[in-house]
């Protein structure tokens, strides 16, 4: 199959959700929950953000993989959140398969999520292999200047051997957790408005000019003074209880999770710090944090990038977690439903983003990240050529509480759309599932020439309808 592009593909794509799987368990005799955690801190020298920023030089705070195995609904369901930037391609498939085997379930029922912190790895073994294969073929050998060979050899996305070590470690943590599983009789839901963290990349200046230039850190007064734009201001908390004893709390909020970043100080950043505060305040409750659909949502209105901002943003997020926890309402757990849609999300072929352009960048890019990013884009193109479809899973607790996972750097509008699909329900949307596509924008962002789509974006215009069709399919 050729790379899938644009509106030509859209009509068939929206109708092609073949193989959608629904599994429901009602009135199970007993639900049980096992929680697990493992340190997945990258070694010094490991690339951060796929080679886009300084590699790891010091560990500011450790990176964790934290999750649970929920049993009692036919086969177990696994959810795991990594303090990593992204997991892509074959690496993503390996995690689903390995954890499914450890928990005694199917890969479809394993939800793998990254928080998207940037001083952390992008795990993409396919892209790394493209880089190493390019070196081996000597495709660059006749390209000046003379030092280009040395520069090319420094390009790297990740260290596959480290991923293998983590697979072994986390799988062991999952297996060890199963005998310690707790009975679950209730689930809880709470939400609280987060103050002064999120803002949309898109804003209007004081003169009315449109800008997409509000990044995760900003000293631009126009970006700071403009309103927050389109965000989801609510942090949502889903929890699991043994009668009146809380066991686990899962929090989700949609914002790029960066304060001060990019200097090689490995960190789970301000969400990791807020999660840690919550864990210390409630030591009996296992705390997990996930990032919502934050492709176009940052802290740029409220964050200058000064390291002093990290505890400030962490404190605001922690405050919302506490308020959501205080407002949690428990409901007896009698039903768990699981559903997954198979989404045929395509590959981009707009000017400067064709497969041919990326292959040229891979072979001839002067800067190491030119080649590393091209390798990540090509890895997605090749995955699409093989007929790959992204899984969009949803877990339902009774008829009104839903946990939904969307892929990659989906824009916030997809999270809001999912909530609109079930307006009377509690819909917690998590982003950064399978991250191979990069940014997944709404069509307006292409039309308005969102500058963030100049790179790290490998889905075609028209993907908005495909995404929304998948969301509707899995939530109906």
Rounded distance, CA 401 to CA 397, Å? 5
What letter would DSSP give residue 42? P
Per the CB < 8 A criterion, the answer to whether 171 and 102 are in contact is yes
pTM of the model as a whole: 0.93
In the prediction, which pLDDT does 146 show? Answer: 54
Reported confidence tier of residue 20, pLDDT bands at 50, 70, 90 = low
Tokens representing 207 are 């003169």
- For residue 43, pLDDT beyond 60: yes
For the residues 85-111, what does the mean pLDDT come to? 98
Sheet with 245-253: list strands edge to edge.
Answer: 286-291, 245-253, 234-242, 186-193, 329-332
Per the CB < 8 A criterion, the answer to whether 247 and 33 are in contact is yes
In the prediction, which pLDDT does 2 show? Answer: 32
- For residue 24, pLDDT beyond 50: no
Q: Give the C-alpha distances (Å, rounded to integers) separating 449 from 84, 211, 216.
A: 29, 10, 19
In the prediction, which pLDDT does 1 show? Answer: 31
Rounded distance, CA 317 to CA 288, Å? 13
- Helix (H/G/I), strand (E/B), else coil: 394: strand
Rounded distance, CA 152 to CA 144, Å? 12
In the prediction, which pLDDT does 151 show? Answer: 52
Residues 61-78: tens digit of each pLDDT: 999 999 999 999 789 999
- For residue 205, pLDDT beyond 50: yes
Q: Give the start-to-end residue ranges of the domains of the chain.
A: 6-475
| Mean pLDDT value across the chain | 92
**DSSP per residue, 190-236:** EEEEPPS--EES-EE-TTS-EE----SS---HHHHHS---S---EEE
- For residue 3, pLDDT beyond 90: no
Rounded distance, CA 262 to CA 258, Å? 10
In the prediction, which pLDDT does 143 show? Answer: 55
| C-alpha radius of gyration, the chain, whole number | 21
- For residue 47, pLDDT beyond 90: yes
Rounded distance, CA 78 to CA 112, Å? 8
Reported confidence tier of residue 13, pLDDT bands at 50, 70, 90 = very low
Residues 128-187: tens digit of each pLDDT: 999 999 887 755 545 555 555 555 568 999 999 999 999 999 999 999 999 999 999 999
Spatial neighbors of 393 by CB under 8 A, at least 6 apart, are 108, 109, 111, 338, 339, 340, 404, 405, 474
């Amino acid at each position: 199959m050729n790379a899938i592009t644009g509106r030509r593909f859209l009509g068939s794509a929206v109708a092609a959700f073949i193989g959608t799987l629904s599994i429901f368990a009602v009135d199970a005799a007993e639900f049980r929950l096992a929680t697990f955690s493992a340190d997945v801190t990258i070694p010094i020298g490991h690339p951060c953000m796929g080679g886009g920023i300084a590699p790891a030089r010091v560990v500011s705070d450790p990176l964790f993989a934290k999750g649970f195995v929920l049993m009692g609904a036919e086969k177990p369901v696994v959810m795991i959140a990594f303090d990593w930037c992204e997991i892509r391609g074959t690496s993503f498939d390996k995690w689903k398969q390995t954890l499914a085997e450890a928990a005694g379930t199917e890969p479809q029922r394993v939800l793998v999520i990254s928080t998207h912190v940037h001083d952390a790895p992008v795990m993409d073994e396919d892209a790394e292999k493209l880089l190493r294969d390019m070196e081996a073929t000597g495709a660059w050998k006749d390209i000046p200047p003379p030092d280009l060979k040395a520069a090319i050899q420094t390009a790297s996305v990740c260290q596959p051997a480290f991923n293998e070590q983590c697979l072994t470690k986390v799988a062991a943590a999952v297996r060890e957790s199963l005998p310690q599983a707790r009975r679950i009789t209730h689930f809880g839901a709470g939400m609280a408005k987060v103050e002064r963290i999120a803002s949309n990349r898109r804003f209007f200046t004081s003169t009315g000019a449109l800008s997409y230039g509000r990044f995760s850190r900003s000293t631009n007064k126009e970006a700071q003074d403009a309103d927050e734009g389109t965000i989801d201001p609510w942090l949502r908390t889903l929890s699991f209880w043994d009668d009146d004893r809380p066991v686990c709390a899962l929090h989700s909020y949609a914002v790029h999770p960066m304060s001060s970043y990019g200097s090689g100080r490995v960190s789970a950043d301000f969400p990791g710090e807020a999660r840690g505060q919550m864990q210390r305040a409630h030591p009996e409750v296992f705390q997990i944090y996930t990032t919502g659909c934050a492709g176009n949502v940052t802290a740029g209105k409220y964050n200058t990038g000064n390291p002093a901002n990290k505890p400030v943003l962490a404190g605001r997020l922690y405050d919302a977690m506490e308020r959501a926890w205080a407002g949690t309402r428990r409901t007896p757990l009698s039903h768990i439903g699981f559903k997954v849609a198979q989404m045929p999300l395509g590959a981009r072929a707009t000017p400067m983003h064709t497969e041919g352009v990326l292959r040229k960048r891979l072979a001839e890019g002067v800067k190491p990240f030119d080649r590393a990013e091209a390798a990540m884009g090509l890895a997605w193109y090749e995955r699409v050529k093989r007929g790959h479809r992204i899984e969009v899973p949803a877990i339902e607790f009774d008829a009104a509480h839903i946990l939904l996972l969307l892929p990659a750097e989906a824009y916030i509008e997809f999270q809001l759309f999912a909530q609109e699909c079930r307006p009377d329900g509690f819909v917690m949307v998590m982003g950064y599932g399978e991250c191979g596509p990069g940014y997944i924008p709404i069509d307006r962002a292409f039309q308005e020439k969102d500058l963030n789509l100049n790179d790290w974006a490998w889905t075609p215009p028209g993907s908005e309808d495909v995404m929304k069709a998948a969301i509707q399919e899995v939530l109906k």
